[in-house]
Amino acid sequence: MSRLSPLRAGVVYLLLAAGAAVFSLPFLWTVSTALKTPENVFRSPPQIVPLPVAWDNFAKAWTALPFPTYVANTLFITVVATTAQVLTGSLVAYGFARFRFRARTPLFYLLLSTMMLPSQVTMIPVFLIWRQARLIDTFWPLIVPAFFGGGAFNIFLLRQFFLTLPREMDEAALMDGAGYLRIWWSILMPLARPALIAVTLFAFLAHWDDFMGPLIYLNSPEKYTVSVGLRMFQDSFGTNLEQMMAASLIHIAPTILLFFLAQRYFVRGIALSGIGGR
Amino acid sequence: MLASLYLSFCKYDLHRLEWVGAENYRRLLTADPLFWRALQNTVVYVAISVPLGLAGSLAIAVLLNQNVRGQRLFRTLFYLPSLVPAVASSLLWLWVLNSENGLLNYGLSLAGLPHRLCPRWLEDPVWTLPAFVLMSLWGVGGARMVIFLAGLQGIPESYYEAAHIDGATSWQKFWFVTIPMLSSTIFFNLILGVIGSFQVFTSAYVMTSGGPGNASLFYVLYLFRNAFEYFKLGKASAMAWILFAVLLGFTMIQFRQAHRWVHYEGGDE
């Protein structure tokens, strides 16, 4: 793109800076509140820079509720479900990308159309099945669905990526006596690493974030995930706002950390998903 | 799915299952003011937040695509809110929107608005939906912006040069090159935006429980309550199917309209 004239560049930077400030402020405000002493939280006009800095809000929030248990529960569910989702999702995507079989195209469209289907339609029968199996208040309902392909969006994204990989490599491996699973695992998976990382990140975020699932299926407090636990925090800590903000930040931290560790995969993955819409 | 369809014609409270035909649908559509209230809230919310969000994200993406320095930093700043988990962002906004000590009303008062005129966001039914719209703009704007940015970077430079030689102004370039070339991305964001916004749940559940005075009773929240608080599973299934029908209808209308304005590169439809 051609260079901007100084005047236009100035306007562009001004607008961008204003926008970025608006987007960042709620977040900075939370950080600031999380570091305030209780008596400074409700001051009017609000205190902008928290002085004195109350670092112990984080420690208090961490111990006020069984937070370590929540984090352990959520990590367990998230890691198992994400792994299952990526493995089975990529297998299904391999099938769609490499094999000709009857009804492949209609099946693929059926899969895509499930993206339009609101999860609420299947939510109730699925709940009844788990209830029938007497597995309410266990982690099973939150983990097992991930073993069934892991959602249309991930399969679609991985299939698109597999299609860009040259088929000759599969054929060469087949000549050398590799089985289909071997081809999937040893050839396609390593090559699809960027797409796999993107899908892993999205799946991780979705499970870490999930609220309605744990809300429906988990009843005992010791099985809560962070998102449900945080909701309980809200009821029991109505006045200790600084601790609540600290707890929220603990919930947010892993997602931001992941983003900075894998920024370029994120951006590519999002871009890939958008181009998938073409 | 079939189980859900069957259930929607039944009365079921986890103990007794009874076939009632279309009774659930009939009652929802004719004798349940809360159903209509929830649908209305949701439609208004979607109708405001999606177009506003698309325009805003596109504007930011276009600005960022102007050969600016620090593009990565800006992109990150705009994108970070998309990473915030829904419960955390609800708690965060509950505090930002607090009418006495919240950040937003403090900002408004700095801008010269007297405190008594500041909106009482989540306590005043009139201001509740706008508050949810603001929150959604913040929450998903960045992700859409990244998709738009990727789309923008896919537009060949030569198109702009050609337009430039023909004497097009920046504005004309935007309307006659950028928008048509980006139309498939806009379409994608529109469809997903509507489907996603229609299912707004967590923020309403955590922040207002549907209040004040049902001003934030969204469709899925009402569905959830029928299913898991009142255990009217037949009614909730019927609601789910109505939601599906509404979304499907909307999506089909969009796809039918699409050929008028969506331009696919290298495709003849």
Q: Decide if B67 contacts A254 (C-beta within 8 A).
A: no
Taking CB atoms and an 8 Å limit, are B199 and A118 in contact across chains? yes
- For residue B241, list chain A residues with Cβ-Cβ distance below 8 A: 121
Q: B22 CB contacts (<8 Å, ≥6 apart)? A: B9
DSSP helix, strand, coil percent of chain A (3-state; round to 5):
75, 0, 25
- For residue A244, list chain B residues with Cβ-Cβ distance below 8 A: 91
CB pairs under 8 A between A and B: 206
The structure tokens listed for A149 are 């392909």
Distance between CA atoms of A43 and A51, rounded to whole angstroms?
A: 12
Q: Decide if A202 contacts A269 (C-beta within 8 A).
A: yes
pLDDT of residue B46: 95
Q: B258 CB contacts (<8 Å, ≥6 apart)? A: B187
pLDDT of residue A3: 59
Cα Rg of chain B, angstroms: 22
Which residues are paired to B10 by β-bridges? B19
Among chain A residues, the shortest Cα distance to B74 is held by: A20
- The CATH code belonging to domain B2-19+44-261 is 1.10.3720.10
Taking CB atoms and an 8 Å limit, are B187 and A271 in contact across chains? no
* Residue A203 belongs to domain with CATH number: 1.10.3720.10
Tell whether A25 is covered by a domain.
no
Distance between CA atoms of B222 and A189, rounded to whole angstroms?
A: 43
The ipTM (two decimal places) reads 0.84
pLDDT of residue A276: 44
By DSSP bridging, strand B17-19 and strand B10-12 are antiparallel
Q: Decide if B207 contacts B86 (C-beta within 8 A).
A: no
Of B67, B93, B188, which has the smallest distance from its Cβ to A1's Cβ? Answer: B67
Nearest CA distance, B89 vs chain A (angstrom)? 8
Instruction: Tell me which residues of chain B have a pLDDT lower than 70.
Output: 1-3, 14-15, 265-269
CB atoms within 10 A of CB B263: 14
Total count of domains within chain A? 1
- For residue A45, list chain B residues with Cβ-Cβ distance below 8 A: 106
CB atoms within 10 A of CB B240: 29
Instruction: Tell me which residues of chain A have a pLDDT lower than 50.
Output: 1, 275-278
Give Cα separations from B190 to A111, B122, B174 (angstroms). Answer: 20, 27, 19
pLDDT of residue A232: 80
Tell whether A57 is covered by a domain.
no
Among A7, A28, A136, A211, the residue to mutate for chain B (most B Cβ within 10 A)? A211
The structure tokens listed for B216 are 């934030």
Taking CB atoms and an 8 Å limit, are B84 and A252 in contact across chains? yes
Nearest CA distance, A130 vs chain B (angstrom)? 13
Q: Decide if A197 contacts A262 (C-beta within 8 A).
A: yes
Q: Decide if A215 contacts A225 (C-beta within 8 A).
A: no
Taking CB atoms and an 8 Å limit, are B84 and A234 in contact across chains? no
- For residue B74, list chain A residues with Cβ-Cβ distance below 8 A: 16, 20
Tell whether A19 is covered by a domain.
no
Taking CB atoms and an 8 Å limit, are B240 and A117 in contact across chains? no
Tell whether A73 is covered by a domain.
yes
In tens, the pLDDT along A10-43 reads 888 999 999 998 899 988 988 988 888 887 877 7
Taking CB atoms and an 8 Å limit, are A1 and B157 in contact across chains? yes
Does A47 lie at the interface with B, CB-CB under 8 angstroms?
no
Q: Decide if A212 contacts B201 (C-beta within 8 A).
A: yes
Nearest CA distance, A125 vs chain B (angstrom)? 6
pLDDT of residue B268: 42
Q: Decide if A226 contacts A70 (C-beta within 8 A).
A: yes
Q: B25 CB contacts (<8 Å, ≥6 apart)? A: B8, B238, B242
Which of B80, B46, B61, B108 has the alpha carbon at shortest distance from B251? B46
pLDDT of residue A149: 65
Q: A197 CB contacts (<8 Å, ≥6 apart)? A: A262, A265, A269
Which of A166, A167, A196 has the alpha carbon at shortest distance from A87? A196
Give Cα separations from A52 to A31, A59, B199 (angstroms). Answer: 14, 16, 42
Q: B7 CB contacts (<8 Å, ≥6 apart)? A: A124, A125, B233, B234, B237
Can you list the positions of beta strands (E) in chain B? Answer: 10-12, 17-19
Distance between CA atoms of B27 and B30, rounded to whole angstroms?
A: 5
pLDDT of residue A70: 92
Parse chain B into domains and list their residue ranges. 2-19+44-261
Tell whether A243 is covered by a domain.
no
Q: Decide if B3 contacts A122 (C-beta within 8 A).
A: no
Among chain A residues, the shortest Cα distance to B101 is held by: A42
- For residue B106, list chain A residues with Cβ-Cβ distance below 8 A: 45-46
